[in-house]
């Protein structure tokens, strides 16, 4: 197992605005995934969906295991799901049985602190997993670059009026 990636960046918004972008489903879908439903509270579920390069959908289901607004968050991913495995009908969510996540590999940790520019966001992220074997350094680099893109999107969203 490779080590987690730590990335941090100042953002032009208050800690409360950054916290909202990290927890509200409609906000997560603007910078993190293609679609999202988030029950923004301790123990609340997150259902995130992406479409890969081949047009295939894939989903992740997670639980907010730490929710200290607007300072800290931990999202524990339960399992990788395919669209067919995730059954959501209207407002009714059908529970998915999943094995317990490994503590380091399947947690996203966020810390938000005041900063002269607005807020400092620190992310502790597991490295991406590849379908084909790759060196840990390559996966860490790809993960780092992915989070840099996320930070750019967060900065753009915060710079827009109305947030």
- Asked if 88 contacts 42 with a C-beta cutoff of 8 angstroms, the reply is no
So what's the pLDDT on residue 132? 61
> pTM for this structure?
0.78
So what's the pLDDT on residue 128? 62
Beta-sheet strands, E only, within the chain:
5-11, 35-38, 45-51, 57-68, 72-82, 88-89, 92-93, 107-115, 118-125
Question: Does position 102 have pLDDT exceeding 50, yes or no?
Answer: no
**Rg value, the chain, Cα:** 16
Residue 15, H or E segment: helix 15-23
pLDDT digits (tens, 9 = 90+) for 20-46: 999 999 999 999 999 999 999 999 999
Report all structural domains of the chain as residue ranges with CATH numbers, in order of start.
Answer: 5-159 (3.30.530.20)
pLDDT digits (tens, 9 = 90+) for 136-154: 677 788 788 989 999 999 9
């Amino acid at each position: 197992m490779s080590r987690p990636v730590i990335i941090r960046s100042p953002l032009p918004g208050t800690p409360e605005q950054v916290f909202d972008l990290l927890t509200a489903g409609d906000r997560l879908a603007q910078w993190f995934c293609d679609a999202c439903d988030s029950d923004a509270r301790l123990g609340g579920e997150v259902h995130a969906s992406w479409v890969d390069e081949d047009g295939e959908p894939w989903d992740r289901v997670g639980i907010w295991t730490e929710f200290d607004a607007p300072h800290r968050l931990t999202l524990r991913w339960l399992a990788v799901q395919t669209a067919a495995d995730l059954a959501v009908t209207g407002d009714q969510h059908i529970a998915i049985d999943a094995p317990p996540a490994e503590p380091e590999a399947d947690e996203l940790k966020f810390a938000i602190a005041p900063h002269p520019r607005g807020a400092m966001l620190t992310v502790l992220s597991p490295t991406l997993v590849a379908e084909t074997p790759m060196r840990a350094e390559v996966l860490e680099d790809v993960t780092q670059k992915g989070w840099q893109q996320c930070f750019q999107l967060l900065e753009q969203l915060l710079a827009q009026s109305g947030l």
